[in-house]
Amino acid sequence: MQGLGLILAFIFLTILSWGNYGPLMHAGQAGMLGASLKPFICVGIAYFLIAVLVPGAILKVRKETGRFTAAGVWWSLFAGAVGALGALGIILAFKFRGSPVFVMPLVFGLAPVVNTFVTMFLNKTYDKAGPLFFGGLLMVAIGAAGVMYFKPSAKNVIITEQNSAITVTLTESHDGGTATQSWQAASLQELQTNPELATAYKWYQRKKPLSFSEMLMIIAAIALTALSWGSYGPTLHKGQALMEGSRLRPFMCVGMAYFIIAVVLPLLILSFWQEGGVWSGGGVVWSLGAGAAGACGAMGIIMAFNSGGKPIFVMPFVFGGAPVMNTFVTVLTEGTFSQLQPEFFGALLLVAAGAVTALVFVPKGAPPQAAAAT
Q: Which residue has the higher pLDDT, 122 or 284?
A: 284
148, 349 in Cβ contact below 8 A?
A: no
**pLDDT for the residue 370:** 38
In the chain, the number of structural domains is 1
> Tell me: the pLDDT tens digits for 330-367?
877 776 676 677 888 888 888 888 877 877 787 765 54
**pLDDT for the residue 372:** 35
pLDDT at 285 over 90: yes
Q: Which is it for the CA torsion 203, 209, 214, 219, positive or negative?
A: positive
| Within-domain flag for 164 | no
Q: How many CB atoms within 10 Å of residue 171?
A: 13
Backbone angles phi, psi at 166, to 5 degrees: -130, 130
Q: Which residue has the higher pLDDT, 16 or 124?
A: 16
| Within-domain flag for 190 | no
Going by pLDDT thresholds of 50, 70 and 90, the confidence category of residue 175 is low
Q: What is the pTM of this model?
A: 0.81
Residue numbers of the domain that contains 254: 2-149+210-365
> Tell me: the pLDDT tens digits for 315-333?
777 877 888 888 888 877 7
| Within-domain flag for 238 | yes
**pLDDT for the residue 289:** 96
328, 360 in Cβ contact below 8 A?
A: no
> Tell me: the pLDDT tens digits for 137-155?
888 878 887 887 777 766 7
Q: How would you class 112 by CB atoms within 10 Å of its CB: exposed for 0-12, middle for 13-18, buried for 19 or more?
A: buried
Backbone angles phi, psi at 224, to 5 degrees: -60, -45
| Within-domain flag for 155 | no
pLDDT at 268 over 90: yes
| Within-domain flag for 111 | yes
pLDDT at 369 over 70: no
- Report the percent of the chain where pLDDT is more than 70: 93
Going by pLDDT thresholds of 50, 70 and 90, the confidence category of residue 6 is confident
> Tell me: the pLDDT tens digits for 182-191?
999 888 888 8
Cα 214–Cα 84–Cα 233 angle in degrees, nearest 5: 110
pLDDT at 88 over 50: yes
Q: SS3 breakdown of the chain: % helix, strand, coil, rounded to 5?
A: 75, 5, 20
Q: Which residue has the higher pLDDT, 314 or 35?
A: 35
| Within-domain flag for 315 | yes
Q: How would you class 161 by CB atoms within 10 Å of its CB: exposed for 0-12, middle for 13-18, buried for 19 or more?
A: exposed
| Within-domain flag for 63 | yes
**pLDDT for the residue 365:** 59
Going by pLDDT thresholds of 50, 70 and 90, the confidence category of residue 1 is very low
Cα–Cα dist 289/268, whole Å: 23
**pLDDT for the residue 38:** 94
Cα–Cα dist 200/217, whole Å: 23
pLDDT at 164 over 60: yes
| Within-domain flag for 171 | no
pLDDT at 49 over 90: yes
pLDDT at 306 over 80: no
- Report the percent of the chain where pLDDT is more than 90: 30
Q: Which of these, 315, 297, 350, 333, lies nearest to 87 by C-alpha position? A: 297
Q: Pick from 18-22, 95-99, 197-201 the range whose average pLDDT is largest.
A: 18-22
